[in-house]
Structure 1
Amino acid sequence: MDLNGVRWRKSSRSNGQGGNCVEVADDMPGVVAVRDSKDPAGPVLTFAPDAWRAFVGRLAPR
């Protein structure tokens, strides 16, 4: 998968927590990519958009 040119972003809740963040690229058709912000050249996990929304939805405080 070619990830050149994707827009990576950190959570608005990361607040500089010592670099313990993930970055998400959700500007690609049909896939959401996730990586460790401390290792941008490292492995990337990919998810179907529906699976990512379900995952993030479970993390949100109720």
Structure 2
Amino acid sequence: MDLTGATWRKSTRSGQGECVEVADNLPGVVGVRDSKDPAGPVLTFDPQTWRAFVTLAKRR
């Protein structure tokens, strides 16, 4: 999966600690990576699946 042009961001709730980063600015894909290993592996999700995950996580 080509993630060229991805804009990575951390949650505003992560503070200054290490966290996951999300890139949701590309059409048809959301990337998730470990902030302390930005050159490492990236999980990818379709936007609908990512929205469902975030919705469920917010309920917790």
TM-score, L = length of structure 1 = 0.87
Larger helix percent: 2
Unaligned runs of at least 5 residues, structure 1: none
Deviation at 1:3, TM superposition (A): 1.8
| SS of equivalent to 1:13 | helix
User: SS of 2:54's equivalent?
Assistant: helix
* Structure 2 portions without partners, runs of 5+: none
Q: RMSD between aligned alpha carbons?
A: 1.2
Counterpart CA distance in 2 for 1:55 and 1:13 is 17
* TM-score, normalization by structure 2: 0.90
User: Which residue identity is paired with 1:11?
Assistant: S
Q: May I ask how many residue pairs the two structures share in their alignment?
A: 60
* Cα-to-partner distance string for 1:1-58 (whole Å, 9 max, x where unaligned): 22222100000100113x1x00000011111000000100000000010100000111
- The residue type paired with residue 57 of structure 2 is L
